[in-house]
């Protein structure tokens, strides 16, 4: 981020709502990222849902998000729960965050969702974006 800022480029808008590469259908996305995809790019979210539906129709159960389909994930009450869970995790991390005195001007970084969620969601990382 510092390199992008110093070069005058800044953080690409795409990363305002997600932590990963530009892969829309990353298997390793966290549920908050799927919820945000629905808001930011609803056409891409619908396309991802169609892949799940096609897989089910052909007898190969497949879901992008662990433990639920995107159809289940997109329900308003489920989205609210995902957002609430994410906010709680961020709050917990902020409270535990220790400022590095050598980098005092660098605030808590909310963007690293992988570290925030660990292995619970996404189950690891993709070699393409090295996360």
The mean pLDDT value for 37-63 works out to 90
**Average pLDDT along the chain:** 79
The mean pLDDT value for 64-71 works out to 90
Q: Specify the pTM.
A: 0.70
Distance linking the first and last C-alpha atoms of the chain = 15
Integer Cα distance of 111 and 1 in angstroms: 11
Task: Identify the CA nearest to 126 among candidates 48, 24, 39.
Answer: 24
At 10 the pLDDT is: 78
Q: Using an 8 Å Cβ cutoff, are 128 and 23 in contact? A: yes
At 109 the pLDDT is: 60
Residue 110 pLDDT > 50: yes
């Amino acid at each position: 981020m510092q390199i992008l800022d110093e070069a005058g480029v800044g953080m690409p808008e795409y990363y305002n709502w997600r932590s990963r590469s530009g892969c829309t259908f990353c298997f390793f996305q966290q549920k908050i990222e799927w919820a945000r995809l629905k808001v930011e790019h609803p056409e891409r979210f619908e396309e991802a849902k169609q892949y799940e539906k096609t897989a089910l129709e052909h007898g190969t159960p497949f879901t992008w998000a662990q433990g639920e389909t995107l159809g289940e994930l997109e329900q308003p009450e489920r989205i609210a729960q995902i957002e609430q869970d994410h906010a709680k995790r961020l709050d917990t991390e902020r409270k535990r965050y220790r400022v590095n005195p050598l980098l005092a001007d660098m605030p808590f970084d909310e963007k690293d969702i992988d570290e925030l969620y660990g292995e619970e969601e996404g189950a690891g990382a993709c070699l393409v974006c090295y996360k």
